[in-house]
A and B are shown apart, each in its own frame.
Chain A
Amino acid sequence: MNPENYLYLAALLFTLGACGVLLRRNAIVVFMCIELMLNAANLLLVTFSRMHGNLEGQIMAFFVMVVAAAEVVVGLAIIVMVYRSRHSASVDDASLMKL
């Protein structure tokens, strides 16, 4: 199969994720969309790795996965805390740097 198609898929996923970040209010959904964008980037890295025939892209993809996992831990914790105090997970409600 032509690897270029993976590139198109990655671009599509990234666009979907970006749109989700911009349009959705629910923090959890926004968060998932960010994951989507990260994975689109991962897909790109792996694809290019394949296209260029070296491993650097794949190594990088692993790094991204680790960072994404860490991010999920911190991000979800914040969202939970915000939800607890405001009883809402809308990102627009949290427009001030204080409670």
Chain B
Amino acid sequence: MIGLLVAAPLLGAALLLLGGRRLDRVGHWLGLAASAASLVFALVLFTDLLGKDGEERSLHQHLFSWVPVADFRADVAFQLDQLSMTFVLLITSVGTLIHLYSVGYMEHDERRRRFFGYLNLFLAAMLLLVLADNYLLLYVGWEGVGLASYLLIGFWQHKPSAATAAKKAFVVNRVGDVGLSLAILLMFTTFGSFSFTHVFAGVDGASEATLTGIGLMLLLAACGKSAQVPLQSWLGDAMEGPTPVSALIHAATMVTAGVYLVTRSGVVFDAAPDAQTVVITVGAVTLLFGAIVGCAKDDIKKALAGSTMSQIGYMMLAAGLGPLGYVFAIMHLVTHGFFKAGLFLGAGSVMHGMNDEVDMRRYGGLRKHMPITFATFGLAYLAIIGFPYLSGFFSKDEIIYAGFAKGGNEGWLLGGVMLLGAALTAYYMTRIMLMTFFGEKRWQPDEAGHEPHPHESPLVMTVPMLILAVGSVAAGFVFDSGERFVKWLEPVTGLAHGDSPVSHGEVSIAATVVMLLGVGGAYLQYGRREVPAVAPAGRLLTRAARRDLLQDDFNHVAFVQTGNYLTRGLVYLDHKLVDGMVNGTAAAFGGLSGRLRRVQNGFARSYAVSMFGGTALLVAATLLMRAV
């Protein structure tokens, strides 16, 4: 049954990618069906799990032995517990909605069949990632989603920018993958195994240094996949992909895989406090980094990408807090999955109506033209900024509270950072909202002279948006009432409460206040005044933030240029030195034989001389030997 979850979309992908043109007309429905089938299986399994007691909610399925070499035993085996189940439900439900949305969004693309093939491939890989019962199989899913992400970012390959962005995403992710490889290698040398059960059982006996090493390597992997500092640079460029892709992969599911990895490896991190500190630091830095970048971008998708980065920073931070935060990291992950997918689908809907324009300075006043998009986007907006009793309010406040509960100065610092982040979130989201849907219209004809005619999107696109909007509004409340979510996940992740210097209520009030401050700030800047259609020069920080805080420039100088010089230098050396030595030897022999050749001049008498000389030498040598 668990196998079927993965098999359905995998089969769909195989059919769609190998089926050829004759599937062009039904391809998208086939893709949707595969995804929906997966969702149905997930729901069946979910009810199955619900029927069991808390501690026993875990299913296993051993398919076959994958790579057995001596002590190295890698199996293809699945493990479905509450944590995986949460992810499976999120992936299949949001995935199916976005499949549906894509039917409309990609309607005019001649390669739509392939798009759905890639989407199905992504679903299969992502499900494999969260269902694997050992790290090596997880790695397969991990790279599988990377591949799907590569294919989908570069879906419009004829655009050089898309191809470059896709390559960048894959390569940066590969840097993270080195971390995952090394973590698995370390596990194998330490425990002789890399299945979850064995590793977690062996943690008690391992030295802290080893565990810190494993933890840091896992974190590196998580940074790559979840776009955390210092491997965050690919996410902004990844927005080159079609918008449904940004919604599914680069907002709701794949980018949260890093949080899954850290939470899943909680046992390791709990035993390695140094690694946890680094996780927290990475989360906190990214949280602010993403928020600042999000404040400065004029491209609606890139602003949302900054926001994604920042929200995952929250989750990462929470996951770094250990049992204090695991549950809330996952809870925020799920709610974020709903409202961020909703936001991206809304952005896609806007672009759909605006001739694929992404510059928010060219929007304005769209609420009249796209009422449904406006409503769903607005609800998701309220959810993400943490408007009281919408889902972001519950999940984010819990994380902020967990930060304070860390205790001591650290607790205050973390709580403060997260509150600042909350203010920034409110600011940039309000900015997006105001620039897009309010104010005067600022759109202009494009180069070809086509004036955009903003219009509401078709039903296949708005229905998923409406469903996600409902999720954004209600999920938090449903999860929080009676602590349902906490009780559900607690057996897997554990739960601690810590002693917080502030109460839950105080945190909520503080969060609401900073949220209102952020909203107010944005309103003063973008609501009261007219938004200029051309971006003003801005101050130093703004300009830096527009350039992703110079991350790309740093990478360019530090890695790309150095790499280029190194490569060119090595090519030169290979040609001149390594090959040169060989060719030099050849030339030396050639020269020598050129000299020796002169001896063979064809004059019989000179040969005779050498014969006589040689004989004389031999005779002399013989006599000499005799004499000695």
Chain A interfacial positions (CB closer than 8 Å to B): 18, 21-22, 25, 30, 91-92, 94-97
> Taking the nearest CB of chain B, how far is it from the CB of A35, in angstroms?
15
A91 partner, pick from B605, B609, B612, beta carbons under 8 A = B605
For A94, list chain B residues within 8 Å (CB). Answer: 604
Residues 579-621 of chain B, each 1 if its beta carbon lies under 8 Å from chain A, else 0: 0000000000000000000000111110011001000000000
> Taking the nearest CB of chain B, how far is it from the CB of A72, in angstroms?
17
For B601, list chain A residues within 8 Å (CB). Answer: 95
> Taking the nearest CB of chain B, how far is it from the CB of A18, in angstroms?
6
> Is the CB–CB distance between A22 and B609 below 8 Å?
yes
A97 partner, pick from B602, B603, B605, beta carbons under 8 A = B602
> Taking the nearest CB of chain A, how far is it from the CB of B391, in angstroms?
98
| Number of CB contacts from chain A to chain B under 8 A | 23
> Taking the nearest CB of chain B, how far is it from the CB of A63, in angstroms?
21
> Is the CB–CB distance between B602 and A21 below 8 Å?
no
For A97, list chain B residues within 8 Å (CB). Answer: 602
> Taking the nearest CB of chain A, how far is it from the CB of B595, in angstroms?
19
The 3 closest A-B pairs by CB, nearest first: A95-B602, A91-B604, A95-B603
> Is the CB–CB distance between B602 and A96 below 8 Å?
yes
B615's closest neighbor in chain A, by CB?
A18
15 contacts between A and B (CB under 8 A): A22-B605, A22-B608, A22-B609, A22-B612, A25-B605, A30-B605, A91-B603, A91-B604, A91-B605, A92-B604, A92-B605, A94-B604, A95-B601, A95-B602, A95-B603
> Is the CB–CB distance between B604 and A18 below 8 Å?
no
**Extra A-B contacts (16), CB below 8 Å, given A18-B612, A91-B605, A95-B604:** A21-B605, A22-B605, A22-B608, A22-B609, A22-B612, A25-B605, A30-B605, A91-B603, A91-B604, A92-B603, A92-B604, A94-B604, A95-B601, A95-B602, A95-B603, A96-B602
B604's closest neighbor in chain A, by CB?
A91
> Taking the nearest CB of chain A, how far is it from the CB of B169, in angstroms?
70
For A21, list chain B residues within 8 Å (CB). Answer: 605, 608
For A30, list chain B residues within 8 Å (CB). Answer: 604-605
A92's closest neighbor in chain B, by CB?
B603
Q: For chain B residues 493-532, which have a beta carbon within 8 Å of chain A?
A: none
For B612, list chain A residues within 8 Å (CB). Answer: 18, 22
Q: How far is the CA of A30 from the CA of B603 in the complex (A)?
A: 13
For B604, list chain A residues within 8 Å (CB). Answer: 30, 91-92, 94-95
Q: How far is the CA of A21 from the CA of B609 in the complex (A)?
A: 9
> Taking the nearest CB of chain A, how far is it from the CB of B254, in angstroms?
78
For A91, list chain B residues within 8 Å (CB). Answer: 603-605
For A22, list chain B residues within 8 Å (CB). Answer: 605, 608-609, 612
For A96, list chain B residues within 8 Å (CB). Answer: 602
A34's closest neighbor in chain B, by CB?
B608
Q: How far is the CA of A25 from the CA of B603 in the complex (A)?
A: 10
> Taking the nearest CB of chain B, how far is it from the CB of A44, in angstroms?
14
> Taking the nearest CB of chain A, how far is it from the CB of B33, in angstroms?
84
> Taking the nearest CB of chain A, how far is it from the CB of B575, in angstroms?
41
> Taking the nearest CB of chain A, how far is it from the CB of B467, in angstroms?
95
> Taking the nearest CB of chain A, how far is it from the CB of B602, in angstroms?
3
For A95, list chain B residues within 8 Å (CB). Answer: 601-604
> Taking the nearest CB of chain B, how far is it from the CB of A32, in angstroms?
15
Q: How far is the CA of A94 from the CA of B608 in the complex (A)?
A: 14
B602's closest neighbor in chain A, by CB?
A95
> Taking the nearest CB of chain A, how far is it from the CB of B618, in angstroms?
15
For B605, list chain A residues within 8 Å (CB). Answer: 21-22, 25, 30, 91-92
Q: Which interface residue of B602, B605, B612 has the most chain A CB atoms within 10 A? A: B605
> Taking the nearest CB of chain B, how far is it from the CB of A40, in angstroms?
14
> Taking the nearest CB of chain B, how far is it from the CB of A17, in angstroms?
11
A27's closest neighbor in chain B, by CB?
B604
Q: How far is the CA of A48 from the CA of B602 in the complex (A)?
A: 37
Q: How far is the CA of A92 from the CA of B608 in the complex (A)?
A: 12
For A92, list chain B residues within 8 Å (CB). Answer: 603-605
> Taking the nearest CB of chain A, how far is it from the CB of B603, in angstroms?
5
B601's closest neighbor in chain A, by CB?
A95
For B602, list chain A residues within 8 Å (CB). Answer: 95-97
Q: How far is the CA of A97 from the CA of B604 in the complex (A)?
A: 11
> Taking the nearest CB of chain A, how far is it from the CB of B172, in angstroms?
70
For B603, list chain A residues within 8 Å (CB). Answer: 91-92, 95
